[in-house]
Amino acid sequence: MGNHMDRSLGTYEKNRPHRRGAWVTICRQEVRFATVFLSTTVLWTIVRLWKVGVDRNTDADVKPWRIESATPCSKIFIDLGSNDGESIQAFLHPDGADPRHPLPPRISSGKLIMHVRHLGWNVSDFCIYGFEGNPRFTEILGQVEKRESRFARVVQIFKETVVGVHNGEVKLYLDDVNEQHQFWGSSVMRDHESVLRSSGNFTNVISVDFADFLEELLLLESRKEQKPFVVVKMDIEGSEYEILRHLAVRGLLCLTMDYLFLEFHDHAFPRRRDEFLAMEKTYTTILRSDECRTSLITDGMRTEHGIRVPTSRGRGVSKLKPL
C-alpha cells in the first residue's frame, strides 16, 4: 500500500505544474468572462454611441438626417409631429405669437404654453428640432424655420420626415378629410380612422430612428459635465406606441427626456383600442415611477375634432422640474 501511495504522490508531483497552470488559465478565463458579462450593457452603450460618431464622420449617406448646427445646446426642444409649425411658434412665443404672423394656439399646445410660462423657461436658450412628414407643410415650415431662428439658438425642421424605429423610407398615408384641423390625421399607420376616411393617397417620406437621433444629440453634448435639458412634444398619430417601446428597449425612455408632452391616439384606432389602452397603462406607469427622470404630461394633450377629451385614467403632470 505504501508503494502505491508513493507512486500516486509521485504522479501528482509530476503533473502538479501542469495542473496548476491549467487552473490558473481557467481562473483567468472565468475572470475575463465575468468582466465581459458584467460590462455588456455599458460596452454596448459605448459601441452604439461610438457608431453614431463614426457614422457622422465617415458614412453620412447612411443616416437620413444631419444636425446642421454645431452650436452647443444645453437645452433642447424636439417637436415630433410639427404639422404647420404651430407648436414651435407657441413654444417660442408663450405670451402670444409673433404679431406679424399670428397663429392662435390650438388646444394641443395649451399645456406646453402653460409649462413654459409656469417654469420660467428661457426659450431663447433652446435649440429646437421639428419633424413633419406631410409635404403639404414643407413650404410653410421652411418659412417658420427661417423666421423663428432669431428667437432661439437653433431652429431646424426636418421636412417630409417622420420619426420611427428605423432609418430609411416609409409610407405616410395622407389625411384629406380634416382640412379644418390642418389634416392632422396623416399617419404611417394605415388603420388610423382619418386615413380610412380619406382617399387612400400616400407619399414616401424619410423615417428617422428616434433613438438614434436622441443618442446623437447626447453625443454632441457629451463633452459637457451635465446632460442637456430635453423637452419632447410627441403627437404622431399612433406611432407613439412603437417608439416608446423602442426607447425602452434601447434604455433611453427614462434617461434622456426631462419632459414628455404626449398625446395618445387609442381613440383613432377603434379595432385596436384595447391593445393600445393596455400599452398606455404600461408606459404611463413606467414614466411616472420614481426611478424615471421624465416628467410626463398627457392631460389636455388629446384632441378630437378640436375639443379637449377628458381622461379617466389619472393622466396629468408628474415630477415638475424647473430648470
Instruction: Please tell me the total count of domains within the chain.
Output: 2
120 and 190 together in one domain: yes
**Residue 96 domain flag:** yes
The total number of residues shown for the chain amounts to 323
Torsion of CA 304, 306, 312, 316, to 10 degrees: 120
Strands across the sheet containing 202-209 = 161-164, 202-209, 168-173
Backbone angles phi, psi at 156, to 5 degrees: -130, 125
95 CB contacts (<8 Å, ≥6 apart)?
A: 117
Say if residue 139 is in the same domain as residue 42: no
- Whether 318 is covered by a domain: the verdict is no
Closest by CA to 130, choosing from 87, 165, 164, is: 87
Do 173 and 109 lie in one domain? The reply is yes
Domain assignment present for residue 323? The answer is no
Any domain includes 213: yes
Residue 8 CB contacts under 8 Å (≥ 6 apart), including other chains: none
Same domain, 137 and 244: yes
C-alpha cell read off for 150:
432669431
The residue from 37, 62, 87 where one domain ends is: 62
- Give start and end residues of each alpha helix (H) in the chain: 2-58, 86-92, 110-119, 138-148, 193-196, 210-220, 240-249, 273-287
Non-local CB neighbours of 243 within 8 Å, separated by 6+ positions = 163, 164, 165, 210, 234, 236
Say if residue 58 is in the same domain as residue 136. Answer: no
Domain shared by 45 and 98, yes or no: no
DSSP string computed for 225-243: SSPPEEEEEE--TTTHHHH
* 55 and 78 fall within a common domain: no
Please check whether residues 37 and 93 belong to one and the same domain. Answer: no
140 with 212, same domain: the answer is yes
Q: b/e map of 173-202 (b: 16 or more CB within 10 Å)?
A: bbbbbbeebbbbbbbbbeebbbbeebeeeb
* CA–centroid distance for 107 within its chain: 23
On whether both 142 and 269 belong to a single domain, the answer is yes
Query: Does 67 reside within a domain?
Result: no
Output phi, psi for 100, to 5 deg. -75, -20
What residues are paired with 154 via a beta bridge? 127
According to DSSP, residue 249 is labeled H
Q: Environment class of residue 242 by beta-carbon count within 10 Å: exposed (0-12), middle (13-18) or buried (19+)? A: middle
Query: Which residues is 126 bridged to in the sheet?
Result: 75
Pairing state between β 202-209 and 168-173? antiparallel
Q: Which of 34, 62, 90 is the last residue of a domain?
A: 62
CA distance 97 to 117: 14
SS3 60: coil
The answer on 109 and 39 residing in a single domain is no
Q: What is the pLDDT along the chain (323 residues), one digit of tens a residue?
A: 545 444 444 443 444 444 445 444 434 444 343 333 334 333 344 344 444 443 433 344 468 888 887 778 889 999 999 999 999 999 998 876 555 555 544 545 677 888 888 888 899 999 999 999 999 999 999 999 999 999 999 999 999 999 999 999 999 988 876 666 666 678 888 888 887 787 788 899 999 999 999 998 887 766 666 789 999 999 998 999 999 999 999 999 999 999 999 999 998 899 999 999 999 999 999 999 999 999 999 976 554 333 333 333 333 444 555 55
Domain of residue 258, residue span = 74-308
Place of cell 394605415: 190
In this structure, the answer to whether residues 180 and 262 fall within a common structural domain is yes
Claim: this prediction has a pTM higher than 0.75: no
